[in-house]
Amino acid sequence: MKPTAQDMAPSAVDTFWRTLQTFAVTRVAIALVLLVYLSVNTRQGFWVNPSFLYRETCAAYLILALGFSLLAAYCRRRFLLQAVSQIAADLVVISLLYVAAGGVRSGLGILYLFPLAGSAILSPLLVALFFVSAATLVMLVNSGYQVLESPADANFAQVGLYGVAFFAAVYVIHRLAARLINQEKLAAQHGEALQVQQAINRLVIADMGDGILVVGRDGTLLTANPAAERMLGAPLSEESLGQKLTDLPALAPIADNFLARMRRTADGANGGDDSALVVVKPGSDVSHSITGSGRNARRDVAVRLKLRFATVDAFGLDKDRTVIFLQDVGEIENKAQELKLASMGRLTASIAHEVRNPLSAISYAASLLGEEDCSPAQARLIHIVDDNVARLNRMIEDILKLSRKVQSDGESLPLDQTLAEIVEEFQETHSVGPGIIHVASMQAYRVSFDPMHLREVIVNLLSNAMRYASGADGSIRVFGVSDAANRLELHVQDDGPPISPEVRAHLFEPFYTTSSKGTGLGLYVARELCLNNQAVLDYEYRIESLGNKSASSREPGKVSGRFVITFALSGRA
AA letter at 526? A
Percent of the chain at pLDDT > 70 equals 75
Query: Are residue 320 and residue 248 in the same domain, yes or no?
Result: yes
> Would residue 161 count as lying in a domain?
yes
Find the domain containing 275 and state its range: 210-328
Q: How confident is the model at residue 216 (pLDDT cuts 50, 70, 90)?
A: confident
> Structurally, how many domains does the chain consist of?
3
> What pLDDT shows up at residue 492?
92
The CATH number covering residue 303 comes to: 3.30.450.20
Q: What is the chain's length? A: 573
CA distance linking residue 317 with residue 216, whole number of Å: 13
> What pLDDT shows up at residue 354?
74
Distances (CA, A) of 6 to 2, 59, 82, 130, 457: 12, 34, 13, 21, 78
> What pLDDT shows up at residue 187?
83
Determine the average pLDDT of the residues in 292-318: 61
CA distance linking residue 530 with residue 568, whole number of Å: 10
Asked if residue 156 lies in contact with residue 143, where contact means CB atoms within 8 angstroms, the answer is yes
Last residue of a domain, one of 149, 169, 195: 195
> Would residue 50 count as lying in a domain?
yes
> Would residue 394 count as lying in a domain?
no
Asked if residue 166 lies in contact with residue 132, where contact means CB atoms within 8 angstroms, the answer is yes
Q: How confident is the model at residue 45 (pLDDT cuts 50, 70, 90)?
A: very low
Beta strands in 175-217 (DSSP E): 211-216
Query: Are residue 77 and residue 155 in the same domain, yes or no?
Result: yes
Query: Are residue 43 and residue 135 in the same domain, yes or no?
Result: yes
Query: Are residue 45 and residue 119 in the same domain, yes or no?
Result: yes
Percent of the chain at pLDDT > 90 equals 2
Average pLDDT value for the chain: 76
CA distance linking residue 305 with residue 281, whole number of Å: 11
Q: How many helical (H) and strand (E) elements, i.e. helices and strands, does the chain have?
A: 16, 13
Q: How confident is the model at residue 392 (pLDDT cuts 50, 70, 90)?
A: confident
The answer on pLDDT for 478 being more than 50 is yes
Q: How confident is the model at residue 319 (pLDDT cuts 50, 70, 90)?
A: low
Span 500-548, pLDDT tens digits = 888 887 788 777 777 666 667 788 888 888 887 888 888 888 766 544 4
> Would residue 98 count as lying in a domain?
yes
Last residue of a domain, one of 160, 195, 230: 195
> Would residue 265 count as lying in a domain?
yes
Query: Are residue 222 and residue 139 in the same domain, yes or no?
Result: no
Q: Which of 161-175, 273-287, 436-450 has the lowest mean pLDDT?
A: 273-287
Using DSSP's 3-state secondary structure scheme, residue 281 falls into coil
CA distance linking residue 306 with residue 505, whole number of Å: 11
Among 544, 531, 86, smallest CA distance to 301 is for: 531
Beta strands in 424-534 (DSSP E): 437-439, 445-449, 476-482, 488-494
Distances (CA, A) of 188 to 6, 18, 99, 177, 380: 16, 16, 46, 16, 87
Q: Give me the torsion for CA of 87, 90, 95, 98, rounded to 10°.
A: -130
Query: Are residue 77 and residue 173 in the same domain, yes or no?
Result: yes
Query: Are residue 183 and residue 221 in the same domain, yes or no?
Result: no
Select the more confidently predicted residue: 517 or 450.
450
CA distance linking residue 551 with residue 384, whole number of Å: 55
Using DSSP's 3-state secondary structure scheme, residue 570 falls into strand
Query: Are residue 431 and residue 324 in the same domain, yes or no?
Result: no
Q: How confident is the model at residue 284 (pLDDT cuts 50, 70, 90)?
A: very low
Q: Which of 152-166, 372-386, 551-565 has the lowest mean pLDDT?
A: 551-565
> Would residue 162 count as lying in a domain?
yes
Most confident of 349-358, 473-482, 553-562: 473-482
Query: Are residue 151 and residue 97 in the same domain, yes or no?
Result: yes
CA distance linking residue 71 with residue 79, whole number of Å: 11
Span 114-150, pLDDT tens digits = 888 888 888 888 888 888 888 888 888 887 777 777 6
> Would residue 397 count as lying in a domain?
no
The answer on pLDDT for 283 being more than 60 is no
The CATH number covering residue 448 comes to: 3.30.565.10
> What pLDDT shows up at residue 293?
35
Query: Are residue 180 and residue 226 in the same domain, yes or no?
Result: no
Query: Are residue 166 and residue 310 in the same domain, yes or no?
Result: no
Cα angle 299-305-311, degrees, rounded to a multiple of 5: 135
Q: Which of 112-121, 196-205, 245-254, 273-282 has the lowest mean pLDDT?
A: 273-282
Phi and psi at residue 567, in whole multiples of 5°?
-75, 140
Last residue of a domain, one of 195, 229, 249: 195
> Would residue 387 count as lying in a domain?
no
Asked if residue 219 lies in contact with residue 244, where contact means CB atoms within 8 angstroms, the answer is yes
Span 491-502, pLDDT tens digits = 999 888 888 888
Span 51-77, pLDDT tens digits = 556 777 778 888 888 888 888 778 888
Q: Give me the torsion for CA of 443, 448, 449, 451, rounded to 10°.
A: 50
Query: Are residue 126 and residue 185 in the same domain, yes or no?
Result: yes
